């Protein structure tokens, strides 16, 4: 060890003092860039901060591909989410150190991951909603925190990898306007909806926070005093580092027009707490800002200390053999254990939306199954965006071929195109549909239609959707299938697999199909998982992390960030087709004996849940709180707690929660939590409270409720 900063036995702050004191001002500035160059005279390697791990190590070759984030959210399973994130971190460690041994320190090969995306999926038109954990602040915060725990590990002195909470804050489209719009949320919406998940991850110890492209209250998020200083650091006590969204600081002077030039933009960002620039402003203009007196060397030192604290905790300045994670073998990448986890996650993410007359599972061994629709053999719909490359990606075609019992005839005819009419009018698929016992229609969206600004190359709206209905040609095809079946007088069952990363309004399909399975972008094992559920070798285990509206017309204007009329908390029930938390299964559950004992500091809540069906199964036990009926401007109800439980057939489990009294508060118009006077209602069940649940079928939706006065 040539220098004290290389001695892992010294206190971390001493090591930071030593290394920062050895750098010139010019060298310090270079280290605030996402592509930080090597400082060879001190033996410091180059480092690229930009890496992705949304649902597996992304954009860096071979990796296990888990379901897209919205699919993992559908598991409602914090413990398994943490396990998945830990597996991702293991693969990241192995790949990083193998690259380092080859002398490669490039893009997407590091240990600082810009995930999870915990923005609230407030509007289904947002193309990046697939990256999120849904529309509810509490669910998003709990699952996001679990993901952070898995990525970062449990050692208080070391980081397995570094997680990042993004995009801070009030950011969820439109993609076409993200570089210029200014959001002025009400204090209530700001504190009740847009901030809680970020606060939860800060409390969990997330290492970094990424600013959003937009402005909030007139200030660009990547240089906002309100967000980065007043709230993040002063109010919440955040100790990690802040990174800009990529080329977001450049927007200060080019699109937001709040600064005159790049050196003013660099100064605004650095002064207000943005430590790392993903982009080129700190490269081109930070030293100019220093020379003009817009920022000081002390402010540069402060940012560098925050950044390099993370690098030290990741073991990057330790001598060889000292970092316990450095020996993670390459054999963990796409290992059998992780492949099994990907399969299990896919199964648990599938949401059964309809199952008339127990169409599923296909236990009757149909004689002939027709696979149809534009997505039967599509690989992209297994992946979503920000993905790695698995050597074992299972499409629906492959999954059905693997799982279906021998002796069943299967055929595949696409039947229709994804997003345009077919030029050939001949309808062989319709003829075959009427002759089959089951038609399996694979429909919905792909990552080329919805996604981030530049990724969704089929989207004319930079990744967003203008309407949320099923694409017209797919719906027309399904109508033709049903008409052919009716014309032949056939008893053919129609099962729809609905792909996509967001809510699709399908009231017509609810009428046309016998069964509907929302499969999201289910990851590398998606096809096999889907087939296993269809044939009853596994049970669908997902619950919706978003509400599914009836139509685009039922949504508020997309660019309006008010929560009025949005999500299950504020949307009129008549406008909801499938409610938040909804999902059917192959067994049934009943709820009883919901009780609440209120103490001075906390309340004890319990409910009994019985599996009243013939099969073992998982239930997601959900607890909701409704305010007093006279309370105006409050959500109809909100998720208070949840617990995923495996319950054997015929058995009863008791679910207990100890909840701080403060968690029963609602937000007033000033954005402050207050205890509302009057009688509140607690409801426990397998779904959010919804008056028309019986119309959707499923005994697992029976609930228990009680009244309390906090």
Percent helix, strand, coil in the chain, to 5, is 35, 20, 45
* Length of the chain as a residue count: 710
Q: Left, alpha or beta for 574 (phi > 0: left; psi -120 to 50: alpha)?
A: alpha
Provide the β-strand partners of residue 685.
622
* Gap between the terminal Cα atoms of the chain: 60
How far, in Å, CA of 513 to CA of 407, rounded? 25
How far, in Å, CA of 153 to CA of 244, rounded? 24
Run of H or E including 639:
strand 638-647
Run of H or E including 144:
helix 137-152
Provide the β-strand partners of residue 8.
none
Provide the β-strand partners of residue 606.
595, 656
Residue 151 backbone phi and psi in degrees, to 5: -70, -40
Active site residue 356: no
How far, in Å, CA of 513 to CA of 521, rounded? 21
Nearest residue to 443 via CA among 416, 481, 480, 422: 416
If DSSP codes are grouped into helix, strand and coil, which group holds residue 404? coil
Q: In whole angstroms, how far apart are CA 670 and each of 187, 230, 628? A: 5, 17, 19
Provide the β-strand partners of residue 605.
596, 657
Which token pair is 193? 């909806």
Q: Left, alpha or beta for 395 (phi > 0: left; psi -120 to 50: alpha)?
A: beta
Run of H or E including 281:
helix 281-291
Q: Are 669 and 187 in contact (CB under 8 A)?
A: yes
If DSSP codes are grouped into helix, strand and coil, which group holds residue 384? coil
Other C-beta atoms closer than 10 Å to the C-beta of 537 total 13
Which token pair is 295? 């920022």
Tokens 């299990």, residue located: 344
Options 245, 275, 318, 618, the catalytic residue: 245
Which token pair is 386? 């920000």
Q: How many CA atoms lie within 13 A of 647 on its CB side?
A: 30
Other C-beta atoms closer than 10 Å to the C-beta of 604 total 13
Q: Are 535 and 495 in contact (CB under 8 A)?
A: no
Residue 686 backbone phi and psi in degrees, to 5: -95, 20
Torsion of CA 32, 38, 39, 42, to 10 degrees: 120
If DSSP codes are grouped into helix, strand and coil, which group holds residue 352? strand
Cis peptide before 116 (omega within 30 of 0): yes
If DSSP codes are grouped into helix, strand and coil, which group holds residue 58? strand
Q: Are 421 and 473 in contact (CB under 8 A)?
A: yes
Any idea which residues carry the catalytic annotation?
A: 245
């Amino acid at each position: 060890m040539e220098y004290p900063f290389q001695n892992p036995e010294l206190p971390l702050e001493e090591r930071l003092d030593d290394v920062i004191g050895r750098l010139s001002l010019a060298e310090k500035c270079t280290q605030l860039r996402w592509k930080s160059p090597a400082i060879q005279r001190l033996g410091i390697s180059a480092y690229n901060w930009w890496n992705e791990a949304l649902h597996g190590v992304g954009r860096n070759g071979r990796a296990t591909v888990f379901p897209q984030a919205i699919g993992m959210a559908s598991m409602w399973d914090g413990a398994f989410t943490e396990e998945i994130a830990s597996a991702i971190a293991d693969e990241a460690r192995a790949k990083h150190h193998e690259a380092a041994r080859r002398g490669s320190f490039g893009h997407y090969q590091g240990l600082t991951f810009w995930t999870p995306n915990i923005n609230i999926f407030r509007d289904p038109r947002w193309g990046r909603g697939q990256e999120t954990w849904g529309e509810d602040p509490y669910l998003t915060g709990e699952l996001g925190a679990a993901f952070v725990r898995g990525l970062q590990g449990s050692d208080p002195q070391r980081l397995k990898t570094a997680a990042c909470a993004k995009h801070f804050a009030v950011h969820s489209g439109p993609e076409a306007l993200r570089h210029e719009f200014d959001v002025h949320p009400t204090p209530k919406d700001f504190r009740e909806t847009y901030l809680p998940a970020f606060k939860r991850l800060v409390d969990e110890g997330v290492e970094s926070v990424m600013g959003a492209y937009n402005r909030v209250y007139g200030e660009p998020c990547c240089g906002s005093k309100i967000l980065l200083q007043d709230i993040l650091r002063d109010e919440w006590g955040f100790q990690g580092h802040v990174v800009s969204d990529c080329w977001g600081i450049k927007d200060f002077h080019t699109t937001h027009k709040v600064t005159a030039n790049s050196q003013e933009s660099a100064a605004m960002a650095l002064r207000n707490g943005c430590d790392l620039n993903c982009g080129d402003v700190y490269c081109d203009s930070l030293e100019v800002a220093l020379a003009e007196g817009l920022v000081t060397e002390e402010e540069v030192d402060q940012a560098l200390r925050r950044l390099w604290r993370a690098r030290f905790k990741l073991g990057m300045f330790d001598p060889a053999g000292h970092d316990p994670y450095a020996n993670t073998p390459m054999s963990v990448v796409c290992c059998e254990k992780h492949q099994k986890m990907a399969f299990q996650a896919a199964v648990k993410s599938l949401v059964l939306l309809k199952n008339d007359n127990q169409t599923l599972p296909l236990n009757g061994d149909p004689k002939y199954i027709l696979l149809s629709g534009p997505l039967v053999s599509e690989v992209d719909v297994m992946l979503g965006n920000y993905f790695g490359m698995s050597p074992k990606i299972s499409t629906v075609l492959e999954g059905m071929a693997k799982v279906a019992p021998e002796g069943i005839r299967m055929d595949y005819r696409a039947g229709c195109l994804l997003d345009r009419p077919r030029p050939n009018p001949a309808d062989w698929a319709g003829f075959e549909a009427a002759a089959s016992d089951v038609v399996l229609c694979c429909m919905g969206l792909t990552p080329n239609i919805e996604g981030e600004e530049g990724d969704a190359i089929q989207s004319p709206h930079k990744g967003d959707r203008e309407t949320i209905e099923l694409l017209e040609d797919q719906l027309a095809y399904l109508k033709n299938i049903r008409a052919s079946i009716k014309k032949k007088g056939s008893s053919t069952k129609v099962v729809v697999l609905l792909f996509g990363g967001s809510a699709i309004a399908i009231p017509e399909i609810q009428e046309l199909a016998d069964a509907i399975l929302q499969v999201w972008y289910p990851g590398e094992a998606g096809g096999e998982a889907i087939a296993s559920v269809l044939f009853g070798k596994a049970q669908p285990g997902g619950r919706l992390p978003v509400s599914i509206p009836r139509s685009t017309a039922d949504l508020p204007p997309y660019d309006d960030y008010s929560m009025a009329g949005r999500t299950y908390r504020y949307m009129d029930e008549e406008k909801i087709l499938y409610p938040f938390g909804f999902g059917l299964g192959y067994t049934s559950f009943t709820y009883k004996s919901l009780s609440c004992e209120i103490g001075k500091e906390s309340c004890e809540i319990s409910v009994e849940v019985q599996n009243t069906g013939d099969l073992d199964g998982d239930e997601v036990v959900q607890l909701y709180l409704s305010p007093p009926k006279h309370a105006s401007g409050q959500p109809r109800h909100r998720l208070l707690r949840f617990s995923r439980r495996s319950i054997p057939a015929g058995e009863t489990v008791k679910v207990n929660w100890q909840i701080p009294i403060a968690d029963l508060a609602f937000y007033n118009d000033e954005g402050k939590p207050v205890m509302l006077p009057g009688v509140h209602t607690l409801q426990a069940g397998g779904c959010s409270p919804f008056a028309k649940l019986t119309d959707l079928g499923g005994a697992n939706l029976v609930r228990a409720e009680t009244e309390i006065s906090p």
